[in-house]
Structure 1
Amino acid sequence: MKRLIPVVALALAGCGAAKELQPAEGASLPPAPYGAKATPTPEQLLTPTTQQRPQRSDELLKSSEQRRSDEFDLPPN
């Protein structure tokens, strides 16, 4: 357990580094998606779309309504 604490501290220390992301040496960005006119920038690749992070719907129930009877809610045999 005592060995785990320094390892966790070192791992968390690297999380605070905030600098612009670049491809590794000798590597390039991924190719443009099929049908795209240009290769997306790193910022565009890191920005989630609405399908990846949908908006939350917090609409509250505005009026109470009685549920209609369920014909298939039968007791077990």
Structure 2
Amino acid sequence: MMRIAAALGLCLLAAGCGTQTPLTPPKGAELPPAPYGAAEKPSSDELLRRDALAAPERSVELRRRSEERQDDPFDLPPE
């Protein structure tokens, strides 16, 4: 029981030590070069931002109860 409490306490301490400062490259490293045709390098925040294709929003409603499937003309048995 004591081990579980110690492990739980250690996990809580580890979870609370996250930083809240902006990301910067380590010393001696630089951000990636500017994309072809761009005038300037993107910032670290711009590099971390995902576009709509990388993280699409959900556009399908979840079904709340089971329903009969419609007939699928492309659901053919193997030949």
| TM-score normalised per structure 1 | 0.59
Q: Is residue 2:8 matched to residue 1:5?
A: yes
Q: d(CA) in 1 for partners of 2:75 and 2:16?
A: 59
> How many residue pairs end up in the alignment?
70
Q: Report the CA distance shift for 1:7/1:72 in structure 2 as closer, same or farther (over 3 A).
A: same
Q: Structure 2 regions of 5+ residues with no counterpart?
A: 63-69
Aligned residue number for residue 50 of structure 1? 52
Q: Structure 1 regions of 5+ residues with no counterpart?
A: 61-65
Q: Is residue 2:18 matched to residue 1:36?
A: no
- Give the alignment's Cα RMSD to 1 decimal: 3.3
Q: Report the CA distance shift for 1:72/1:21 in structure 2 as closer, same or farther (over 3 A).
A: closer
| TM-score normalised per structure 2 | 0.58
Return the offset for 1:45.
0.8
> Residue type matched to 1:46 in 2?
L
